Every structure is written in structure tokens, then in C-alpha cells.
């Protein structure tokens, strides 16, 4: 669980516990997203631009976009490492990348994330160019996965409703990032996950959602291995996602 820092890259090692695994005895996407948020938070803390510093000015980091591409996921009982670095930033957004490594330090996946800072009282976006420690900490490391695509025209091939409750809400009192992702993944049956793994996942957060909101979850699976998803409150889109599935290699199954 040691934390190392060198070359403007922040790394942390984890161990995949049985109780954390999905039905395929692998790291679930929701845990991976939590781990990405964890290393991003700890790296920002170490640069003096983390939660504690920002909350003094009633500001908070908000994850606005996320693209993950995995060659494979860590398996039960396996050690894995997340390394993160700042790729770039402008007034409105900071681009932070993540490399996921297996226990032999071989990369097994990458993520691209886009963060903004909001004023927690007015809920409006803040200028982040003043967070000057970022300028000194942009790293040159390459992230070999494509930037996020623009997700639009989600046809309502499948539709379901869900009401967000207490355990879906985070410390900002809006729906937790990971609970949107679970709501989308829950639209696919277990048998599908037994046959396919999530090769690439993209999500764009459009609007905050509050407790007791009944949302509509739509899946466009006209291409069954490259699906689009939208969560909306009536006609108001809250987030849109893209899920690219790849067939599981039977030899790799546990």
C-alpha cells in the first residue's frame, strides 16, 4: 500500500480483496473508478491543491469526464498499482491520466479524466489557472488511449427507471459518480458479463442529480458490443456513456 512519488507521477499499490470482486472474480469497473478518484485526490493533496485547501474557499474538484480502456482487469488476490499525472490544464479544466499496472508493473489499462473546480455555494465553475502548483507538475508521460468521443443520439432501445436514494448520495449531496455507472451497468444481464468484458468505458457528466430523483436509464445497443447510454431526468440529460465490450478469452477465465 506504499505511496511513491517521482517524476511528477503519483503511484499507489492496492491488493484486490475477494469481497471487492464482481461476479467474474475480477476488479469491477465501479471499484476501478473509485481507485482513480482516490489517487487523483491523494495526488492533488500532495500538490497542495486537494480537498482541504480548496474547501477553505468553498471550492471542490468535480469529475466531469472519464474514459477508461482496459486490456484486462486485476484478478482476486492480485496486487495492482495506479499511477497518475497531470497532462494539461487551462482555466476551466485539468486533464489527468492514470496508468493501471499489474503486479509485475506491466500496464494493463489506462484512463483519461477531465476535472473542473466548482464553487460549492453557487455551484458554478471556478477559474483553476490560479492553482499554480499544477503548472510545475505537468508530466510528459504518454497515455496511449484515445481521447473521449462525443456521445450523442442515444436511441432508446432499452429503458429502465431508477430512483436515487441515500446510499447513492455523496458528500457534495449529489449523486455519487460511481452510482451513475452502476445504474448503467445494471442494464446488462449477468450472462452478458460472463461472455464479455468492458474493454472501454466513457462517461460525460452533464448535470448534478439529487436524492429522490427518478431517472430514466436508456441503452442504445444497436451495436451490441459498442453501446451508448443516457441517464435523464425527464427530458434533461444527466450523463451519457459509451461501453465497448470485448469477448472474454476463455483461457483467461478463472
52 binds a copy of itself (CB under 8 A): yes
In the three-class reduction of DSSP (H, G, I as helix; E, B as strand; rest coil), residue 152 is classed as coil
The dihedral over CA atoms of 64, 70, 75, 81, expressed in degrees to the nearest 10, equals -70
Contacting range for a copy of itself; rule: CB under 8 A; set: 31-39, 111-119, 126-134, 198-206: 31-39
250 binds a copy of itself (CB under 8 A): no
193 to 222, contacts with a copy of itself by CB under 8 A?
A: 193, 211-212
CB nearer a copy of itself, residue 38 or residue 138: 38
241 binds a copy of itself (CB under 8 A): no
> Binding residue for a copy of itself (CB under 8 A) from 142, 171, 235, 251?
171
Contacting range for a copy of itself; rule: CB under 8 A; set: 111-119, 135-143, 180-188, 221-229: 180-188
> Binding residue for a copy of itself (CB under 8 A) from 10, 11, 32, 37?
37
C-alpha 123/C-alpha 119 separation (Å) is: 5
70 binds a copy of itself (CB under 8 A): no
* Nine cell digits for residue 31: 471499484
41 binds a copy of itself (CB under 8 A): yes
3 binds a copy of itself (CB under 8 A): yes
140 binds a copy of itself (CB under 8 A): no
Q: Vertex 27, ends 24 and 30: CA angle to 5°?
A: 110
> Binding residue for a copy of itself (CB under 8 A) from 8, 34, 120, 216?
34
- CA count, 13 A, side-chain hemisphere, 130: 7
CB nearer a copy of itself, residue 55 or residue 222: 55
Collect all residues with Cβ–Cβ distance below 8 Å to 212 and sequence separation of at least 6: 163, 164, 165
10 binds a copy of itself (CB under 8 A): no
Q: How far is CA 76 from CA 21, 30, 31, 79, in A?
A: 7, 15, 13, 9
The continuous run of DSSP H or E covering 215 comes out as strand 214-220
C-alpha 244/C-alpha 155 separation (Å) is: 16
**Cα 151 from chain centroid?**
16
Smallest separation (angstroms) from a copy of itself to the CB of 35 = 10
Taking a C-beta distance cutoff of 8 angstroms, is the pair 75, 197 a contact?
no
Smallest separation (angstroms) from a copy of itself to the CB of 142 = 27
Provide the binding-site residues for a copy of itself, judged by CB under 8 A.
1-3, 17-23, 25, 28, 30, 34, 37-38, 41-42, 51-52, 60, 76-77, 165-171, 173, 176-177, 182, 185-186, 188-190, 193, 211-212
Amino acid at each position: 500500500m506504499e505511496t511513491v512519488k517521482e517524476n511528477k507521477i503519483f503511484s499507489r499499490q492496492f491488493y484486490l480483496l475477494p469481497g471487492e470482486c464482481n461476479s467474474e472474480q475480477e476488479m469491477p469497473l465501479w471499484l476501478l473508478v473509485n481507485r482513480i478518484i482516490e489517487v487523483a485526490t491523494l495526488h492533488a493533496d500532495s500538490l497542495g491543491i486537494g480537498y482541504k485547501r480548496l474547501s477553505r474557499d468553498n471550492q471542490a474538484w468535480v469529475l466531469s469526464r472519464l474514459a477508461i480502456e482496459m486490456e484486462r482487469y486485476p484478478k482476486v488476490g492480485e496486487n495492482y498499482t495506479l499511477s497518475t499525472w497531470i497532462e494539461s490544464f487551462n482555466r476551466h479544466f485539468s486533464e489527468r491520466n492514470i496508468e493501471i499496472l499489474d503486479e509485475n508493473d506491466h500496464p494493463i489499462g489506462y484512463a483519461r479524466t477531465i476535472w473542473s473546480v466548482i464553487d460549492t455555494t453557487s455551484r458554478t465553475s471556478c477559474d483553476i489557472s490560479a492553482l499554480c502548483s499544477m503548472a510545475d507538475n505537468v508530466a510528459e508521460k504518454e497515455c496511449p488511449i484515445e481521447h473521449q468521443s462525443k456521445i450523442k443520439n442515444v436511441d432508446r432501445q432499452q429503458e429502465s427507471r431508477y430512483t436515487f436514494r441515500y446510499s447513492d448520495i455523496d458528500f457534495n449531496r449529489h449523486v455519487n459518480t460511481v452510482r451513475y455507472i452502476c445504474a448503467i451497468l445494471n442494464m446488462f444481464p449477468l450472462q452478458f458479463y460472463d461472455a464479455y468484458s468492458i474493454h472501454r468505458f466513457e462517461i460525460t457528466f452533464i448535470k448534478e442529480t439529487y436524492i429522490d430523483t427518478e431517472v430514466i436509464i436508456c441503452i442504445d445497443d444497436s451495436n451490441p458490443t459498442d453501446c451508448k447510454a443516457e441517464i435523464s431526468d425527464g427530458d434533461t440529460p444527466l450523463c451519457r456513456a459509451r461501453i465497448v465490450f470485448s469477448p472474454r478469452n476463455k483461457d483467461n477465465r478463472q
